[in-house]
Amino acid sequence: MITTIRTKKTKSIVSMVSAVILLFSLGSCQDYLDVEPEDKLSGEQMYRNVFDADAAVVGIYGKFMGLAEKYVILNEMRADLMTTTRNSSPALKELSNHNVSIANPYISPKDFYVVIQNCNDALANFDMMLAKKRFTQSQYDQRYADVACLRSWVYLQLGIHFGSVPYITEPINNLEDVKNISKYPRLPFDQLLDKLVTFTESLTYKDIYDTQSSLRITVDGYDTMKFFINKECLLGDLQLWKGNYLSAASHYKNVMESTPTSGANSYDYYRVRIPDVVNNDDLAVGYRRDYETDATSLVDSNTKGWRSIFARDRDIMWNTEWIWSLPFDSDFAPANPFIAIFSKTAGDYLAKPSQSAMDRWNSNTSRFGYPYDARGPKFTYKMVGTDPVIMKYIYKFEAAADQFKREGDWFLYRAAKLHLRYAEAANRDNQQKVAFAVLNQGLKETYTIYNPDGTIPTDVTNIQQTKLGFPYDFDARQGDAPNYRAPWHRSVGVRGRARLISVGAIGDDVITTENNIINEAALELAYEGNRWEDLVRIARRRNDPSYLANKIYDKLSKEGNAEADNVKAKLMNPANWYLPFNW
Amino acid sequence: MTQLKFNYKRLFASVLMLAIISCSNPWDDRLDNGDENLTVNLKEAIESRPEGSEFAQLLEQTGYDKVLEQSKTFTVFVPTNEAINQVDDAILNDPASLIAFIRNHITFTTYSSIREKQEERIKMFTNKYVTFKGSTTIDEATIVSPDNYAKNGVFHIIDKALTPKLNIWQFIKSQAGASGISDYLLSLKEFNIYKSDSIGKAVSETNGAGYLSDSLTNSYLKNVYNLNNENNLYTVFLMQNDGYNAEVNKLKPYLIKTSNDPSKDSTAIYSKYFTLRDMAFAKEYELNELPATLTSRFGVQIPVDKTQIVQQVRLSNGIVYIMKKVDVDLGKRLVTTKIEGESITSFSPSNLRSRVLFRDRVDASGIFFNDIRVQNPGVSLFTLNYNAKDLFSTTYKVYWKAYNDRSVVVSQKLRVGGSNVFLNGVMQGVIKEFAYMNVPANSYEELYLGEFTLAKAGNIDLISLIAGTSSTSELTLDYLRFVPQTK
């Protein structure tokens, strides 16, 4: 190709073009270098509207469910109700013997920080969205509070298990930095609690998502309402840890007085309802009417009685008990980790009830003369062959009778736990009688002033109520002339629902009542991930390491563990309650 | 042009060079660790060992050399030539026995002499087990050259052949004609100790051997232990004839039975069965492990007198001790019959199930027990029925334990025997009806009722606990205890 160019003209064109390019490039230098990648979304692009925010919230809960196995194993295997089996891995045995090695996979706090990092990232972006007016103040408040509370919950767990941990509230670039003590100094548990209380109390929104919220929907057959953390319960727990008992009781009472979901009766909702002795359509330990001493008439069913708390569908009655529970479904990740842990026939049978726990149930007397608490040997665990198997988590799976239908739940908060925690706070706030009532046979019975012949007076106008101010105000009147059906008349107490005789007496001191409450939590809530937390909280509160150490000693010595004495000596030093912070 | 030619030459030379270099393929070489052992299979490896040449030849003779060429994983115990020479020619010359002999030296998977388990039972191709103890002992042989390996397994050279042993049942069969016990036990293929035994036998008969577990084909194997089972280990005492007969005669007065078939002496047959059912134990006891007394699965304590042992026979599924006699105290032999209150067979009126309560209770010392309670029956003479098996023809003392924790007075009576046949309003077949007795309130004491005598040994199909004549009469029972008395 032959081209003739007039050199002079070309030169002048070139210099003009260069000048123009230079001019443009100088002005647009910043934008020019800031190319948006075409295969990735930046935070701003991801958080465009409220539905993107919802997706972020749901995504965080998805990640959060990955903590289920660790939560149960750390809180139960380290405590006294659960122990190892012949199949347990050395890692589990280390936890049970309080002698962990660095390589133990259960003690890595990394998974917790993954969730925290997710929360921090979402919170920062929510702030950005609000600033850019991408959603309303109310939408912001609700989502921000939810994610913030979840983060506080995870931090509380970290504090319980690791003691001193870095408190990070901003998104960070490299998760490995969490371990870097110079970048993120570790906060002792006390200071962490202060931070958590201050931060969580400062949230403006403390209710569940309102009924208009796009997060209150039914998805894949599950109502999402009970998926999300209950903020008042969390605040109650934080204040209970902190020692602000009145504040804790107030938060709990707010939940106890919650407005029911549609279909549920407000007398039943989170109030530990009286047994239905006729049809056994209840959540109580029950037998056939009038023949309650026949052990074979025990209501042992996935749809009726106490066992159904863990096995029934998420129906109206389920909603009266459960405050926070996340479902595992075989159609979606993450997979249910509990069948492998607990089932002997379909899983690996890695954990079982300890002798100490079984003795605990068997030292109770039912009101029908059974020398045991049926919640233990009949429902919480069952003998499969000669082995005790923890059943709470596998009733649904066994009912489906299908290897591939591995449905189950992560049990996080329910009415019985709420009532026991409330009783714990009330007791420390010198309301032993209220605590006694909630723990034992309920408010109506405890606050009834009987006639001299032992009958209930016809006119209950002035009895069956606490006559105290918030949060200890209960009206449990039930009378026919004049007619009363007060809000609490159906509440029967945690032991009342389990059909057990009362423990303790009105007038017991704080310590006795507290011991009874924590013991009851072991019987009612075993293997739901509360025990270690309960032991640490009480031992810290009393400044008495032996409270915790003796419980663990009882478990280990009853199974003939040669290390029992050493472990007890070790746990007498509170520093040894906490796991090494490393991964 | 010359330049171009030169360039071709250079190109050709370098291609040739490359081809030569790449002849050795590093990718293939990664598998070659220079271990010659891994290039041969077990068959070739065994053949290459002069001390195992006889065994190698037997492998070839039986065709098992082909098996050891397969790419599965085996462990072979190779007896030395000297060991093979000591093996009975009868075995080596009989093709069937020879195959069994070879099969008893081979097993799947590799068993190294270095193992975590101190002792391990290994299932050989014969389906019989041999015990691998420590790192050098396999059954009664010693490993002289351990852990020789080839690409499909390991072999150990041993100084004694692992000739397959009989199992206990095969041993008993082999003693037929010489031992009274053997003859008797084999006769239980025909004779049914319990009626229900006949079902399994009949089904096995129609469908041929192997259709049902062989334990169902013989009353002893069904009701005591399946001594033909290679998977478990047993200890059996076999008495010589004199001691055996003496022991059987001791029991005869307690097992009086009339026979449907006059040619058969039922008393003798059952006396033998009740003598021999206590002679087998579900564990292998070495001579030095034998305790002073062993308890049979029927609750009889058997004294072990080692001085009476004539011979110890090691078998593939346990040990048989040939004894002069095993002298068992009659008092021990006549076991107490205990009937749990909750183990009812029926109740009447049978439509009142809701009145029958199966309770879980705890006694004064904190021991759990289950009992039965009939509460507010609404009818008089409420009755709970039981049965008892294998009673002796003797006098029984009767006790009960009943727990009354209700404010109601409980008065109840026990009737042993009976039927649904009435003659002039009188129930037939009643052996003994005890008087009404009160159950004291809140007492855990066992009470003595009295005694009854059985003329014939056997089962009692109806034992009834009967409430009082009022419609509020209740019943309660933890257990009944029938204690046989020696004559």
B134 and B173 housed in the same domain: no
Which residues on chain B are in Cβ contact (under 8 Å) with A291?
A: 354-355, 357, 375
Residues of B near A (Cβ–Cβ under 8 Å) read 354-362, 368, 370, 373, 375, 405
**Exposure letters B196-234 (e unless 16+ CB within 10 A, then b):** ebeebbeebeeeeeeebebbbbbbbbbbbbbbbbbeebb
CA atoms within 13 A on the CB side of A486: 20
Q: What is the DSSP string of A139-199?
A: HHHHHHHHHHHHHHHHHHHHHHHHSSEE---S--S-GGGGG-TTTSPEEPHHHHHHHHHHH
Q: Taking Cα atoms as reference points, which of A451, A452, A434 lies closest to residue A488? A: A434
Strand order in the sheet with B234-239: B280-281, B234-239, B318-323, B309-315
CA–CA separation, A162 and B169 (whole Å)? 63
Amino acid identity, residue B421?
V
DSSP character for A366? B
Task: Flag whether B437 is in a domain.
Answer: yes
Pairing type for strands B129-133 and B137-138 reads antiparallel
Contacting residues of B for A300, CB less than 8 Å apart: none
* Nearest chain A residue (CA) to B377: A291
**Average pLDDT for A62-90:** 95
Q: For residues A91 and A108, what is the distance between their CA atoms, to the nearest angstrom?
A: 12
- Judgement on whether residues B193 and B308 belong to the same structural domain of the protein: yes
Residue A69: count of CB within 10 angstroms of its CB: 18
In a domain, B22, yes or no: no
DSSP state of A379: I
Region at B85 (left for phi over 0; alpha for psi -120 to 50; beta for the rest): alpha
Cβ–Cβ under 8 Å, residues A374 and A366: yes
Contact B358 A291 (CB under 8 A): no
**Average pLDDT by consecutive 10-residue portion of chain B (487 residues)?**
69 73 64 78 91 92 91 93 92 92 94 86 92 90 92 93 93 93 93 88 76 79 92 94 94 91 90 95 93 94 94 94 94 94 94 91 89 92 95 96 90 94 91 94 92 94 95 94 94
Confidence (pLDDT) at B448: 96
Tens digits of residue pLDDT in B422-449: 999 899 999 999 999 999 998 889 999 9
3-state secondary structure A301-320: CCCCCCCHHHHCCCCHHHHH
Question: What pLDDT digit, counting tens, does each position of B263-277 carry?
Answer: 889 999 999 999 999
Residue A393 burial (C-beta neighbours within 10 Å; 0-12, 13-18, 19+): buried
Overall number of domains in chain B: 3
Q: What is the pLDDT of residues A385-414, one digit of tens each?
A: 999 999 999 999 999 988 889 999 999 999
Residue-wise pLDDT for A248-264, tens only, equals 999 999 999 998 887 88
Q: Does B186 lie in the same domain as B144? A: no
pLDDT in tens, B342-387: 999 999 999 998 899 999 998 888 889 999 999 989 999 999 999 9
Are B115 and B222 part of one and the same domain?
no
Contacts of A364 in chain B (CB under 8 A): none
- Judge contact between B428 and B340, C-beta under 8 A: no
Are both B329 and B429 inside the same structural domain? no
Per the CB < 8 A criterion, the answer to whether B458 and B257 are in contact is: yes
Q: How far apart are CA B149 and CA B49, in angstroms?
A: 12
Distance in Å, alpha carbon of A362 to nearest chain B alpha carbon: 10
Which chain A residue lies closest to B406 (C-alpha atoms)? Answer: A369
Residue A409, strand partner residues: A327
Torsion of CA A151, A154, A160, A165, to 10 degrees: -60
What is residue B431's three-state secondary structure?
strand
Same domain, B174 and B318: yes
Distance CA B383, CA B373 (A): 11
Residue B16's pLDDT is 73
Give the strand order in the sheet containing B137-138: B106-108, B74-79, B153-158, B141-150, B137-138, B129-133, B119-123
Q: What's A136's DSSP letter?
A: -
Give the whole-angstrom CA distance, residue A141 versus residue A183.
30
Alpha-carbon distance of A245 to B203, in angstroms, equals: 74
> In A, which residues are within 8 Å of B358 by CB distance?
294-296
CB contact A372 to B (< 8 Å): yes
pLDDT digits 0-9 by tens, A448-470? 999 999 999 999 999 999 999 99
Give dist(CA B63, CA B99) in Å, integer: 9
Of B272, B214, B474, B264, whose CA–CA distance to B356 is shortest?
Answer: B474
* Predicted local distance difference test score (pLDDT) of residue A68: 96
Q: Are residues B357 and B474 in the same domain?
A: yes
| Interface contact B355-A370, CB threshold 8 A | no
Arithmetic mean of pLDDT, A222-239: 93
Residue of A nearest to B362 (CA): A371
Q: At what angle do helices B241-251 and B180-187 cross, to 10 degrees?
A: 60
8 Å CB contact between A100 and A580: yes
Average of pLDDT values for A347-356? 96
- Residue B469 included in any domain: yes
For residues B51 and B60, what is the distance between their CA atoms, to the nearest angstrom? 16
SS3 of B230, please? coil
DSSP states of B304-373 as a string? Answer: --GGGEEEEEEETTEEEEEES-----HHHHSPPEEEETT--SEEESTT-GGGEEEEEEE-TTS-EEEEEE
Q: Among B356, B358, B360, which would you mutate to test the A interface (most chain A Cβ atoms within 10 Å of its Cβ)? A: B360
B183 and B307 both lie in a single domain = yes
Give residue A262's pLDDT: 78
Angle value at C-alpha B384, between B381 and B388, nearest 5 degrees:
135
Average pLDDT over residues A476-499: 94
Which residues face A480 on adjacent strands?
A: A483
Residues B319 and B396 in one domain: no
| Contact at CB, A288 and B354, closer than 8 angstroms | yes
pLDDT of residue B117: 81
Q: Top-level CATH class of A43-415?
A: mainly alpha
For testing contact with chain B, the best of A291, A366, A368 (most B CBs within 10 A): A291
Interchain contact, A371 vs B405, CB within 8 Å: no
* A chain contacts of residue B371, beta-carbon cutoff 8 Å: none
3-state secondary structure A510-536: HHHHHHHHHHHHHHHHCCCCCHHHHHH
The helix (run of H) or strand (run of E) holding residue A325 is: strand A322-328
Domain housing B209 = 168-333
Residue B19 forms part of a structural domain: no
CB contact under 8 A, A291 and B375: yes
CA-based nearest distance B56→chain A, Å? 43
A262 touches A483 (CB < 8 A): no
- Write the pLDDT tens digit of every residue in B269-318: 999 999 999 999 999 999 999 999 999 999 999 999 999 999 999 999 99
> What kind and span of H or E run contains B77?
strand B74-79
Any domain includes B72: yes
d(C-alpha B340, C-alpha B103), whole Å: 50
Residue A207: φ, ψ to 5°:
-90, 175
Query: Residue B447 pairs with which residues in a beta bridge?
Result: B400
DSSP assignment string, A4-22: ---HHHHHHHHHHHHHHHH
Q: What is the DSSP pairing of strand B475-477 with strand B368-374?
A: antiparallel
Among the partner residues B355, B358, B360, nearest to A371 by beta-carbon distance: B360
**Residue labelled with tokens 């300890």:** A354
Q: Same domain for B429 and B466?
A: yes
- Is B112 a domain residue? yes
Structure tokens, B279? 């002679």
In a domain? residue B246: yes
- Shared domain check, B462 and B366: yes
B284-315 as b/e, with b when 16 or more CB fall inside 10 Å? bbeeeebeeebebeeebbbebeeebeeeebeb
Q: What is the mean pLDDT of residues A79-104?
A: 94
Of A294, A371, A372, the CB nearest to B357: A294
Q: Which residues of B touch A297 (CB under 8 A)?
A: 357
Q: Which of B333, B358, B373 is the last residue in one of the domains?
A: B333
Q: Which residues pair with B107 in a beta bridge?
A: B75
If pLDDT is split at 50, 70 and 90, which confidence band does A25 have?
low
Closest CA of chain A from B478, distance in Å: 14
- CA-nearest residue to A374 within chain B is B360
Q: What are B165's two structure tokens?
A: 């042993």
| A235: nearest Cα among A469, A471, A431, A438 | A471
Residues of B whose CB is below 8 A from A293: 357, 359, 373, 375
Determine contact: A289 vs chain B, CB below 8 A: no
Cα–Cα separations (whole angstroms), residue B474 to A160, A189, A369, B404, B471: 56, 62, 18, 10, 8
Q: Mean pLDDT throughout A35-40?
A: 70
Cβ–Cβ of B357/A372 closer than 8 Å? Answer: no
- Domain boundary among the residues B123, B158, B193 is at B158
> The pTM is what?
0.80
CATH number, domain of B46, equals 2.30.180.10
Separation in Å, CA of B378 to nearest CA in chain A? 14
Average pLDDT over residues A302-329: 94
How far apart (Å, rounded) are the C-alpha atoms in residues A433 and A425?
A: 12
By residue count, chain B amounts to 487
Q: Looking at the DSSP assignment, which residues form a beta bridge with residue B311?
A: B322
Shortest distance between the Cα of B288 and any Cα of chain A, in A, equals 29
The one-letter code for the residue type at A147 is V
- Looking at the structure, tell me whether residues B190 and B120 fall in a common domain: no
